[in-house]
Each structure stands twice: as structure tokens, then as C-alpha cells.
Amino acid sequence: MASDAIRPCIAVVMGVSGSGKTTIANILAAQLGWEMLEGDDLHPPANIAKMAAEHPLTDEDRWPWLESIAQWISQRVETGGSAVVTCSALKRSYRDVLRQAMIGHPEATLLFVYLRGAPEELHRRLVARQNHYMHASMLDSQLATLEDPTGEPDTVTIDIGGTPNEVAAAVAAALESRRDA
């Protein structure tokens, strides 16, 4: 891959809960030596409490959170660093907020990595997950909110059917092809 100082890259690992965003992002960041941000860490306490109470977030709940992630991305690009970020980024308008962080940085690459899986697999994963505020009961609302990004030019779709290492390898290959283009 090209040097980070020459072509910073931001990979936004996106998808609904249970798609493996954090797992894949951690593997990818470790393999590439990039900084990693768990986007959920920037949620205000009110958002976390709302989700823990099994209430879906509204757009109004999400805008400040998305702006915080965009600001974090912008800071990384400003310093020439590459990073991996997790963010559900369910709607195109949400992804557009994150795209704003790249304005003025034509040297940088932004790639949304959409982790796609069958609803049954996503539900199984959420039921098995422990100690997380996002309950399996919230999956339907996320799937209803999701605007499939397939076809957006800065997006690659990766199926979650493989092992985490296989999925991360597919993501790394997609990043390399985009950065070297």
C-alpha cells in the first residue's frame, strides 16, 4: 500500500448491529497498524440509555454523534494518518455527514465497508452477545432504517459469512485496491 503520509485512508466499517463491525475493525487496525475508533464510544450517555431501554435512536439523536465521528476523521486526515472507524452509518445522509470530513483532502481516501449479512445470522449473533446495550430486539428497527449503500462509489460490500480473519482479509484487499487506484 501507499505510504500513509502520502495517501491517508479512512475505512468506515459500517452495518447494523451484529454484523461484526468492532471485531473486523480491530483485526484490520492491528494488521495495518492504523488507529481505530469504536464509533459507539462517542455516543452521548442519553443515546446509550435510550438504546439500552430498547428504544431506537432518531435522526436527531444521531446527528451530534455523527458530527463527533466526522470531527475525529477530519483530525486524522489533517495529520496525514490512516484509521479504521466503526459506525453503523445506516442512511446515506449519515454517510454524507462523514464524507464532509474529507472536504479539502483530495489526497485522502474514504471507504465505507458495508458488512452485510442475513437477518437470521445477525439475530443469532446479537442473541449470543453478552454485556452490550444493543439488544436483539432492536435489529428490526436497524434493518428498516438501513439504506443499502451498494452502488455508492466510495463503498464496498463484504459478506459476513466467513471467519473474522477471512472477512478482514477481504476488507484489506478492497482497501488496497482503492488506495492504489
Would residue 26 count as lying in a domain?
yes
**Residue 171 or residue 126, greater confidence:** 171
Would residue 1 count as lying in a domain?
no
Give pLDDT tens digits for 137-177. 677 888 889 999 989 999 999 999 899 999 999 999 998 88
Instruction: Pick the range with the lowest mean pLDDT from 85-89, 98-102, 139-143.
Output: 139-143
CATH number for 24: 3.40.50.300
CA 115 – CA 34 distance, rounded (Å): 19
Please give the mean pLDDT across all residues of the chain.
Answer: 88
SS3 of residue 13 by DSSP: strand
Instruction: Report phi then psi at 149, rounded to 5.
Output: -85, 0
Would residue 69 count as lying in a domain?
yes
Domain of residue 86: give its range: 9-179
Would residue 98 count as lying in a domain?
yes
Q: What is the pLDDT of residue 135?
A: 56
Would residue 4 count as lying in a domain?
no
Would residue 75 count as lying in a domain?
yes
CA 167 – CA 97 distance, rounded (Å): 26
Q: What is the pLDDT of residue 50?
A: 87
The predicted model gives 10-25 an average pLDDT of 93
CA 113 – CA 100 distance, rounded (Å): 17
Overall domain count for the chain: 1
Partner residues linked to 157 by β-bridges: 114
Q: What is the pLDDT of residue 18?
A: 84
Would residue 120 count as lying in a domain?
yes
Cell of 43: 455516543
